[in-house]
A and B are shown apart, each in its own frame.
Chain A
Amino acid sequence: MDRHAARRAPGGQQVSTQPLTTESRPLSASSAAGRTDPARIRNFCIIAHIDHGKSTLADRMLQLTGVVDARHARAQYLDRMDIERERGITIKAQNVRMPWTSGIDGTEYVLHMIDTPGHVDFTYEVSRSLAACEGAVLLVDAAQGIEAQTLANLYLALENNLTIIPVLNKIDLPAAQPDRYAAEIAHIIGCDPDDVLRVSAKTGQGVDQLLDVVCREIPAPVGEADAPSRAMIFDSVYDIYRGVITYIRVIDGHITPRQRIKMMSTGAVHELLEVGVISPEPLPTQGLSVGEVGYLITGVKDVRLSRVGDTVTDAIKPATTALGGYADPKPMVFSGLFPIDGSDYPLLRDALDRLQLNDAALVYEPESSAALGFGFRCGFLGLLHLEITRDRLEREFNLELISTAPNVVNRVILENGEEQIVTNPSDWPGGGRIAQIFEPIAKCMVIAPSEYIGAIMELCQNRRGTLGGIDYLSESRVELRYTLPLAEIIFDFFDQLKSRTRGYASLDYELAGEQQAELVKVDILLQGEAVDAFSSIIHKDKAFAYGTSMTGKLRKLIPRQQFEVPIQAAIGARVIARENISAIRKDVLAKCYGGDITRKRKLLEKQKEGKKRMKMVGRVEVPQEAFIAALSSDEDVPKK
């Protein structure tokens, strides 16, 4: 599972209803919203790797600009979800408006800082956030150097023609190597090492100069004030009290609270209930004008009605063309989610319904598995999205779940020319009717110390990768570019990468179409009966290894039964691996236990209870734990 990025779910729930813990002063910057001269606006985001100090820097900026009183500042003001605080990751940050009087020219500017999610699953959302800005602060830990997602997002920012302000953070650290990493950054973006700013978000050193440079370097937004209004949605979150809060950046015209607006992708018209800015609490305003960033509330209760990337326009005087770049979220990774306790199925359904209110990318439909019972086949943007969703279902809804091994979406062309999109191994067309198979591929970027080049190349080779190129970022760090099947990436790739590079490699990837592939479906059979939950679509060269590992794992995980249980891996009718669980021979307490009948009975009762947690596969009793362990990509299977 990817743990390498600042995380942020499209489903992150925003909590805007908590009591104000700060005194938000009535600032000129916010009171003037709706009438701000675009020439004085600077819209920017911060691109950083997890832990390189984005939240700390944002906190410092809020303090310096007076938006949050130093006395009331609490660490990481902008990261609000508990889960974020706990994990120390950014799932959903916020977008703030700050006033700043430049120390260079004395002008009072309005700064909009827009948060960018940092993970590959949400590349599309990142691209929309970047599209709302004219510039980006590239924040790099002066003791670590640049990491892969940062580089990927940097490239994305450059594609969007953003002005980049390179900054090294944590220069107060004794381990900081600002000269070395300034050279690295200069090499990557093609600037002078002296142009790389040096700050300490912790002590505040250099942050005011950084704000001045933001005002000086980043271009002001341009748009037509008198044209029909057009604003781009770059974020959309569900709040239980207020409904959907939509974050927008105004491109042309005005958005005012009295307006009726139209979503240009669907034509849906909404009444506006509120328009405002965040500074750092929501503050209703008389409107938003060209270049301004703020929020609007329409009372809709489902984020799918207010989609990231869509264009908001006036319902009565609509714009004729939408802003470019809109795309529907497309699930790339599928997995079946099943409640461990079958009676939790309705709870799981309700929970998914609730999450979907806040997660336009989450799709699901009921699925029934012979082995796992009733559940849902869910589609996700990627592995992280899957993990976050699962995590939230378990934490917030108290569900215990089994998830099947994630799989990608394959396109199968049958001999009769028919095309099938397969999102579930159970739907794989059998009987040799397949003419061609296409699988999704991804362009992958790995940054690591150069001593690991060999290990990384070996891993990528193993995963059917094609080398695209190698670049030295500096003498000791390299960037490797590979094209890999997405299916290989979602199968334990990141953990493998980390372990082969002692944790030093970082990874980013983006989807890059499809390729033809020789895939097969491997079934796992217990006593001759296929267990649907274990079926997997896999490259033919890896089928044997998969079959061997799965049958071996299951042999260790399934307790012995009163009869022999053959475990087989098969492609169609051809068995490619087999193991045997020999019949249990002893299951009796053959000891003198005197009169303590109670203890003996309770033991039997407990064992009988345990039987209820078993899933029956034909006549074979399989413990839930065996499913969970067999489906996890973990190599070490605990002994039963």
Chain B
Amino acid sequence: MPSSLPDGDPAPTDGRLPESALSTLGRTPFGFYVHVPFCTTRCGYCDFNTYTAQELGQGAGSVSQGTYADTVIAEIRMAREILPASTPPVSTVFVGGGTPTLLPAEHLALILREIDAQFGIAPGAEITTEANPETVSQAYLEHLRAAGFTRLSIGMQSAAAHVLQVLDRVHTPGRAQQAVAEARAAGFEHINLDLIYGSPKETDADWQLSLDSAIAAGPDHVSAYALIVEEGTALARQVARGIVPAPDDDVLADRYVQADETLRRAGFDWYEVSNWARTPAAQCAHNMLYWRNHNWWGIGPGAHSHVGGVRWWNVKHPASYAQRLAEAVSPAAGRETLGPDSRLMEHNMLPVRLREGIGISELSQQGLIRAQEAVGRQLIDRQMWDLGRIVLTQRGRLLADAVVRDLVA
């Protein structure tokens, strides 16, 4: 079951944004996120806004993958009408899902071309798509590369067959690594592998195998996520019934340390709590938009956007999303204009997760006192603190949310 949208204020039907938000657009990089809400099957742990063909149904009013690109293009054009001419050229595009690679490569290419036509894609921009290992081929990837995609993020999750099975993944062990090779051959410079740790029945050795296999495949980026039992998912029901155990926080902490050490030894540095890159250039620039509180427009059902202190989110269901756009009505379901408290919370909560951290001048008086205590507890790096920056230690990264709550208390 896809997770629900936040509560917020109603968004205007024309999607117009306040002048105050638009006026700051030129100051920071700007990107697009494009959501593709389709999957062949739903993985038991997943609460992303995505639908199988069966869930979407057939016949009139149904949503088809075949026409999805047209709908996306309609929202890109709407964005063009709302955003001012001062909007900077697009520095990142991230196509995520769901499973973007269920769409024909040509459709992804069309979407990219439309963004370029309307906004202009900056030279050297990072253009990523997520890909499920079993959905891509050498030819498909070549097509994407030729269309301008520069980065591929592959959902590997695990190298252990039994873990993949627990996770309801449809690809076989080895397939993700093979996809990396195909991407390389297709000319992708930047490749990421997504891993999940702490799955039921996963052992330390399984996790080590996953890490080693991922590294051996030769990506320049790895994301490792702790398995979260999301409300409303099949996994949550299994946990509730006692069929599988809930992930244990201490085990998750051990696995995190294991990942951090293994990746560091293999030449990857952490730059965000769950992200490691071989070089600064390999860091995901699009994700950095999120952590640095920059601006982006999220296209697609349930997608979230942020422009100049206004956050909004689209209607969740692909059918209502398509219908809104067919009627030339903004697909936004709700929005919020951040007040000082929310801004403060976000200014701590987002960049504190980054290796670059926060300057201590950003903290309140109370926050500074709390930060000092956190240095004492070895949650904040003492050397960086002496240099005037808040950077989490490995232990601090594992307690990042607690640190943020303290800093803003």
The answer to whether A633 has its CB under 8 Å from any CB of chain B is no
Known: A592-B194, A597-B290, A597-B350. A586 touches B399 (CB 8 A): yes
Task: Select one of A586, A592, A604 contacting B253, CB under 8 A.
Answer: A586
**A584 beta carbon closer than 8 Å to chain B:** yes
Say yes or no: is B151 at the interface (Cβ < 8 Å to chain A): no
B6 touches A598 (CB 8 A): yes
A563 proximal to B (CB < 8 A): yes
Q: Which of A585, A586, A590, A602 contacts B6 (CB 8 A)?
A: A602
Produce 1/0 per residue, B374-407, CB < 8 A to A. 0001010000000000000001011111101100
Segment at the interface with B among A27-35, A281-289, A605-613: A605-613
Q: Is the CB of B274 within 8 A of A591?
A: yes
Nearest chain B CB to A205's CB is how many angstroms away? 55
Interface residues in B289-305 by Cβ distance below 8 A to A read 290, 296, 298, 303-305
- Known interface pairs A595-B33, A595-B306, A596-B313; A587-B346 also in contact (CB < 8 Å): no
Measured CB to CB, the nearest residue on chain A to B226 is A590
> Taking CB as reference atom, which chain A residue is nearest B402?
A587
From A588, A589, A594, B304 is in contact (CB under 8 Å) with: A594
CA distance A599 to B342 in the complex (A): 12
Among B303-339, those with CB < 8 Å from A are 303-306, 311, 313, 336
A604 touches B6 (CB 8 A): no
Tell me whether A590 and B225 are in contact in the complex, defined as CB-CB below 8 angstroms, given that A600-B349, A601-B346 are known contacts: yes
A96 to B132 CA separation, bound complex (whole angstroms): 83
Say if the beta carbon of A499 comes within 8 Å of chain B.
Answer: no
Residues in B with CB closer than 8 Å to A515 are none
Least Cβ–Cβ distance between B393 and chain A, in angstroms: 13
CA–CA, A604 to B336, complex, Å?
17
Whole-angstrom CA separation of A52 from B60 in the bound complex: 68
Check if A562 is an interface residue, CB within 8 A of chain B: yes
Q: Which residue of A lies closest to B227 (CB)?
A: A591
Query: How far is B347's CA from A604's CA once the two chains are assembled, in angstroms?
Result: 13
Which residues from A are CB-within-8-Å of B194? 592
Let me know if B226 and A586 touch, CB within 8 A.
yes
Q: How far is the CA of A27 from the CA of B281 in the complex (A)?
A: 102
B342 touches A604 (CB 8 A): no
Interface core residue of B250, B400, B401 (most chain A CB under 10 Å): B401
In the complex the two chains form, what is the Cα distance from A330 to B357 in whole Å?
65
Q: Which of B3-24 contact A (CB under 8 A)?
A: 3, 6, 8
> B252 at the A/B interface (Cβ < 8 Å)?
yes
Render A452-474 as a binary contact track against B, CB cut-off 8 A, 1 for contact.
Answer: 00000000000000000000000
Q: Is B273 an interface residue (CB 8 A)?
A: yes
Contact, CB under 8 Å: B304 / A597: yes
Residues of the A chain whose Cβ atoms lie less than 8 Å from the Cβ of B303 = 595
Do residues B223 and A592 form an inter-chain contact, with CB atoms below 8 A? yes
State the Cβ distance, B373 to closest chain A Cβ, in Å. Answer: 10
Instruction: Return the chain A residue nearest B335 by Cβ.
Output: A598
B225 & A586 in contact (Cβ 8 Å cutoff): no
Known: A587-B401, A595-B298. A601 touches B305 (CB 8 A): no
Does B249 lie at the interface of the complex (its beta carbon under 8 Å from any beta carbon of A)?
yes
**Contact present for A586 and B250 (CB under 8 Å):** yes
A594 x B404 contact (CB < 8 A): no
B225 surroundings in chain A (CB, below 8 A): 590-592
Expressed in whole angstroms, the Cα–Cα distance for A584 and B252 within the complex equals 12
Asked if B181 is at the interface of the complex by the 8 Å CB criterion, the answer is no
Q: What residues of B have a CB within 8 angstroms of the CB of A596 in the complex?
A: 6, 304, 313
Question: Complex Cα distance A599/B47, Å?
Answer: 14
Closest to B96 in A: A594
Q: Are A590 and B304 in contact (CB under 8 A)?
A: no
Q: Contact: B226 with A598, CB < 8 Å?
A: no
Known contacts A595-B298, A596-B304; decide if A590 and B274 are in contact (CB<8 Å): yes
Whether B243 is near chain A, meaning CB under 8 Å from some CB there, is no
Per the bound structure, the CA–CA distance linking A9 and B91 in Å amounts to 75
User: How far, in Å, is A71 (CB) from chain B's closest CB?
Assistant: 55
Alpha-carbon gap, A554 to B74, bound state (A): 58
Q: Is B256 an interface residue (CB 8 A)?
A: yes
A607 CA / B401 CA spacing, docked (Å): 10
Query: Quick check: A601 and B349 within 8 Å, CB to CB?
Result: yes
Binary per-residue interface labels of chain A (283-314) against chain B in the complex, 1 for a CB within 8 Å, 0 otherwise: 00000000000000000000000000000000
Do A598 and B253 touch across chains, with their CB atoms under 8 A apart?
A: no
Q: In angstroms, how far is the closest chain A Cβ from the Cβ of B194?
A: 7
A597 to B294, CA, bound (A): 12
Given contacts A592-B225, A598-B336, contact A587 B311 (CB under 8 A): no
Q: Which residue, A594, A604, A607, has most C-beta atoms of chain B within 10 A?
A: A594
Are A586's CB and B274's CB within 8 A? no
B residues 212-236 touching A (CB-CB < 8 Å): 223-226, 228
Contacts A596-B6, A596-B313, A597-B311 given; indicate if A604 touches B256 (C-beta within 8 A).
no
In the bound complex, what is the Cα–Cα distance between A592 and B194 (angstroms)?
A: 10
Contacts of B250 in A (CB 8 A): 585-586
Complex Cα distance, B396 from A584, in Å, reads 11
CA distance A601 to B353 in the complex (A): 13
A584-B6 in contact given A562-B377, A592-B225, A596-B304 (Cβ < 8 Å): no
Complexed CA–CA distance, A597 and B311 (Å): 8
Residues on A with C-beta less than 8 A from B33 are 594-595
The minimal Cβ–Cβ distance linking B67 to chain A, given in whole angstroms, is: 24
B408 near A: Cβ within 8 Å?
yes
- Interfacial residues of chain B within 357-379, with CB under 8 A of chain A in the complex: 377, 379
Q: Contact partner of A590 among B273, B313, B377, B404, CB < 8 A? A: B273
B31: nearest chain-A partner, CB-CB = A595
* Residue B409, interface by CB 8 Å: yes
- Give Cα distance in the complex from A608 to B342, angstroms: 13
Residues of A within 8 A of B305 (CB): 595
With A586-B399, A592-B274, A597-B304 given, is the CB distance from A604 to B252 under 8 Å?
no
Interface centre among B96, B303, B345, B397 (most CB of A within 10 A): B345
Contact of B226 among A591, A601, A607 (CB under 8 A): A591
How far is it, in angstroms, between the C-alpha of A585 and the C-alpha of B377 when the chains are bound? 12
Instruction: Name the CB-closest residue of A to B228.
Output: A591
> CB-CB contacts of B249-263 with A at 8 A, as 1s and 0s?
110110010000000
Are A587 and B400 touching (Cβ within 8 A)? yes
The smallest beta-carbon distance between A620 and chain B, in angstroms, is 14
Give the docked Cα–Cα distance between A414 and B201 (Å).
62
Q: How far is the CA of A562 from the CA of B400 in the complex (A)?
A: 11
Partner of A586, one of B249, B290, B342, B404: B249
CA distance A381 to B3 in the complex (A): 54
Query: A605 to B339, alpha carbons, bound, how many Å?
Result: 13
Residues of B within 8 A of A584 (CB): 249, 399, 402
- Bound state CA distance, A586 and B228, in angstroms? 13
A604 touches B249 (CB 8 A): no
Expressed in whole angstroms, the Cα–Cα distance for A604 and B398 within the complex equals 15
Contacts of B346 in A (CB 8 A): 597, 601
B256 touches A590 (CB 8 A): yes
- Neighbouring B residues of A594 by C-beta, 8 Å: 33, 96, 290, 298, 304
- Measured in the bound complex, the distance between the Cα atoms of B408 and A592 in whole Å is 23
A588 & B273 in contact (Cβ 8 Å cutoff): yes
Q: How far does the alpha carbon of A589 sit from the alpha carbon of B247 in the complex, in Å?
A: 13
B296 and A595 contacting across the interface, CB-CB below 8 Å: yes
Closest to B251 in A: A586
Contact, CB under 8 Å: B405 / A607? yes
The one of A589, A592, A595, A599 in contact with B401, judged by C-beta atoms closer than 8 angstroms, is A589
- Measured between beta carbons, the chain B residues less than 8 angstroms from A599 are 3, 6
How far is B8's CA from A191's CA once the two chains are assembled, in angstroms?
78
Q: How far is the CB of A260 from chain B (nearest CB, A)?
A: 65
Q: Report 9 cross-chain contacts, Cβ distance below 8 Å, ordered by A residue.
A: A586-B399, A591-B274, A595-B303, A596-B313, A597-B304, A597-B350, A599-B6, A601-B342, A611-B405
Given A585-B398, A592-B194, 7 further pairs, Cβ under 8 A:
A586-B256, A588-B398, A591-B228, A601-B346, A601-B349, A608-B408, A608-B409
Nearest 9 A/B pairs, CB to CB? A595-B304, A585-B253, A588-B400, A587-B402, A586-B253, A598-B6, A590-B226, A586-B249, A590-B274
Residues of A within 8 A of B (CB): 562-563, 584-592, 594-602, 604-605, 607-608, 611
